[in-house]
Amino acid sequence: MFTKPSSNIKIIRVVVGLNQGGVQQMILNLFNGLNKEVFEPIALAIENTGAIGREIENAGFRVINLGLKRGPLSFFMIVKRLADVFREERPHIVHGSSYYPSVYSRVAARLTDVPILISHEHTIFQKNRLKRQFVGHLISKFTDRHIAVSNEVKNHVVQWYKIPPEKVETIYNGVDTEYFTPKLSKEDAKKRLNIEPDVFVIGYVGRLSHEKGHRYLFDAIAGLKDRFPLKAVMVGTGKGEKEIMRHAKDAGVEGIVHFLGLRRDIPEILSAFNVFVLPSIQEGFSNALVEAMAMGCPVVATAVSGNKEAIVDGIEGFLIPPADAGTMASAIERLYADRVLRKKMSAAARQRVEEHFSLKQHIEKIERLYISLLKGKGLI
């Protein structure tokens, strides 16, 4: 069915939806950076398109929206529709992101003889998800490569799906270091948010959901609010938003914590942060964390999964135990009290991103993987 590419290598990236999110933003960044003389990327949304989908289209790339809802009886319908698309488009590579899109797309790709199947692994599953473990192990037998966003995710995938380590490659998410570069002074950035220059700003950007551990951040803030002038800025939305706002109220920090919702001016907001805090209980590899580092934010992050690979404790920030509001508060207060340390960590954070987590490095590794897999099957 498929022949050697006579023109561009066609890749279909499959996701649940194309609303605002870390995975979706990385796909947009990747599409913009891929060599257009070699690759023809297409984004496929199973459920819906959205803000990122429109940006992908505006950038000149195709978006396919199936408009289907995932549910107990939807598996065969989704696989059938994906198979129809693959037969029509004849991609050389199908690259699914996250668990469900990767499962659906790999089954459909297998049925339609797509040459290369890739699964992008973004997180660590809870140990009681035995159905996922069984299905993942089964489908991994005809998966050409798994991409893990961190070494810890790679180790989990190898053990969880019982697959050879050489079938899993770690490729860190990358930051556009030209876009995420400080352009405003701290004072001007705070002024834009109606925050006084002497107020210490604790910031968070990301999804508002239980596994992000916001309640521990609010408890930490409650212990600090009478010690020095501070405000917390929370950027993002999520299914747990109302519950998280209630946690802020219960902790007595409702007037200190400001929820800004979804924003498109993230670099400007990050410029106002004196410290970026990531209180996650569970994390694959946080785009927001390395974006904050690129903006020169010292960080306080829980020592879980990819966080431990993003920063070196005591150099770019502090790693703390998860679900430990007391240690979090101590780390934040130490940064408040030591301006010299903040400045040193700020420079180190920016340097680490430039050396290890740039978008350029991410794109180069993805391109090399695509080419290597196609060469391995004699397709180029």
Q: Give the pLDDT of residue 22.
A: 87
User: What are residue 16's phi and psi, to 5 degrees?
Assistant: -65, -55
Q: Give the pLDDT of residue 72.
A: 76
Q: Give the pLDDT of residue 73.
A: 83
Residue 151 CB-density burial (10 A; 0-12 exposed, 13-18 middle, 19+ buried): middle
pLDDT digits (tens, 9 = 90+) for 7-45: 799 999 999 999 988 899 999 999 999 999 999 999 999
pLDDT digits (tens, 9 = 90+) for 73-83: 899 999 999 99
Q: List where CATH 3.40.50.2000 sits in the chain.
A: 9-174+359-376, 186-356
pLDDT digits (tens, 9 = 90+) for 150-164: 999 999 999 999 999
Question: With respect to CATH, is domain 186-356 assigned 1.10.10.60?
Answer: no
Q: Give the pLDDT of residue 17.
A: 96
- What CA–CA distance (Å, rounded) separates 150 from 169? 9
| 8 Å CB contact between 104 and 14 | yes
327: closest CA among 225, 216, 201? 216
Mean pLDDT of residues grouped by 10 in the chain (380 residues)?
A: 70 95 93 97 96 97 96 91 98 96 97 98 77 91 97 94 96 97 97 98 96 97 98 95 96 97 96 98 93 99 95 98 98 99 99 98 98 95
Task: Determine the topology of domain 9-174+359-376 in CATH.
Answer: Rossmann fold (3.40.50)
- What CA–CA distance (Å, rounded) separates 264 from 20? 10
- What CA–CA distance (Å, rounded) separates 109 from 325? 46
Crossing angle (nearest 10°) for helices 287-294 and 339-356: 120
